[in-house]
Structure 1
Amino acid sequence: MSDKPDMAEIEKFGKLKLKKTEMQVKNPQPSKETIEQEKQAGKL
């Protein structure tokens, strides 16, 4: 077998068959305000 994919199969692939999905951020980054509040709480 070759290491390269069969380009004919790739060209035949129909993007319309793919399902739409919703992205969800599992671990969102804290806002600047939250970071500042935690810094202030740590100084007390």
Structure 2
Amino acid sequence: MDPFKKRADKPDMGEIASLDKTKLKKTETQEKNTLPTKGTIEQEKRSEIS
């Protein structure tokens, strides 16, 4: 194995360091698949027993 050969599994940190964050668009994150609450789980358990 050539130690000077670029490895594909290692990211090029030079590109990350030169990233201009001011050019990125602001986005709003929306949760699509929310986890059930403890109350919802208990309610489903009770309905399965009935």
**TM-score, normalised via structure 1 length:** 0.73
CA distance in 2, matches of 1:11, 1:26: 32
Instruction: Considering fraction of residues, name the structure with more helix.
Output: 1
User: C-alpha separation between the residues in 2 aligned to 1:39 and 1:11?
Assistant: 51
Structure 1 stretches of 4+ with a deviation exceeding 2 A read 2-6, 9-13
Task: Report the CA distance shift for 1:12/1:36 in structure 2 as closer, same or farther (over 3 A).
Answer: same
Gaps in structure 1 of 5+ consecutive residues? none
Cα 1:19/1:39, change in 2 over 3 Å = same
Q: CA RMSD in A?
A: 2.0
> Which of 19, 32, 41 matches 1:13?
19
Output the TM-score relative to the length of structure 2: 0.66
